[in-house]
Amino acid sequence: MSRRPFIVAIDGPAGAGKSSVSKLLARRLGFSLVDTGAIYRCVALMARREGVALEDDAGLEALLGRIQVTFKMVGEENRVFLMGEDVSGDIRLPENSMAASVVSRRPVVRQGLLELQRRLALEAESGAILEGRDIGTVVFPDADAKFFLEADPKTRARRRYEELFQKGTERPLQEVLEDQTRRDQADMEREVAPLKAAEDAVRVDSSALQLSEVVQRIEQVVRERMAARG
């Protein structure tokens, strides 16, 4: 029987640095990368495009039966494809971020996406990094290495502000912070799979660390675990 790929779970709130860290780590380890937030964003985008209300469980369930999400590294970017269309830009627009937070609260959506998330990871050749909110607690409770990446709220909002700015969207920092607080609260307070660190996750606070330092710390733990697994 062939062995399951090595699974790395990286959870944490928006703006803690999960995407940048995961991308670099995936490249250094030669692992595939599954951005689960992008999958929730795709559900929201598809619902909005098809006129399915974000609280319409039956409509969402029908949509989940058809959804196809794939990832492809293009240069430095982990591009996201919904039904074959590159939606990497559209899924990150502010109105879609709020919609993603709303659909991610629906149990029907969380349940409907479990298999897709697991399949994308298990298709990997040697290993997969999954970044999200509930990877270490729900999607892969038996992941080989789990991390919970944190940073203080102001640092996270500033990072998001700069990321949006670089992509050509200028929004007042205060607005970015307010949106983030609303989303954090919704993510932590929802009944199904709320954002929380798995008990066996390694917690990393990135507030005062350079990106390369965070990557180094995580990579070291991953390599130790890989060596232990043999």
Which residues would be at the binding site for ligand DC (CB under 6 A)? Answer: 14, 36-38, 40-41, 100-101, 104, 132-134, 183, 187
Q: In 3D, which of 20, 2, 3, 4 has the Cα closest to residue 12?
A: 20
Q: How far is the CB of 73 from ligand DC (least distance, A)?
A: 17
Q: Based on CB atoms, which residue is closest to ligand DC, 193 or 218?
A: 193
Coil, strand or helix at 67 = coil
Q: How far is the CB of 219 from ligand DC (least distance, A)?
A: 21
Q: How far is the CB of 134 from ligand DC (least distance, A)?
A: 5
Q: Based on CB atoms, which residue is closest to ligand DC, 196 or 226?
A: 196
CB 35 within 8 A of CB 80: yes
* 3-state DSSP helix/strand/coil % of the chain, to nearest 5: 55, 15, 30
User: DSSP class of residue 71?
Assistant: E
Q: Based on CB atoms, which residue is closest to ligand DC, 152 or 224?
A: 152
Alpha carbon distance 156, 10 (integer Å)? 16
Residue whose entry in the numeric block shows the structure tokens 């149990």 = 107
Q: How far is the CB of 6 from ligand DC (least distance, A)?
A: 19
DSSP string, 102-151: HHTT-HHHHHHHHHHHHHHHHT-SSEEEEEESSIIIII-TT-SEEEEEE-
Q: Based on CB atoms, which residue is closest to ligand DC, 38 or 145?
A: 38
Identity at 74, one-letter amino acid code: V
Q: Based on CB atoms, which residue is closest to ligand DC, 30 or 141?
A: 141
Q: How far is the CB of 159 from ligand DC (least distance, A)?
A: 12
The CA–CA distances, whole Å, from 182 to 30, 65, 134 equal 35, 29, 18
Q: Based on CB atoms, which residue is closest to ligand DC, 14 or 60?
A: 14
Q: How far is the CB of 198 from ligand DC (least distance, A)?
A: 12
Alpha carbon distance 16, 14 (integer Å)? 6
Q: How far is the CB of 184 from ligand DC (least distance, A)?
A: 9
Q: Based on CB atoms, which residue is closest to ligand DC, 43 or 218?
A: 43
Dihedral sign of CA atoms 122, 128, 92, 90 in order = negative
CB 9 within 8 A of CB 135: yes
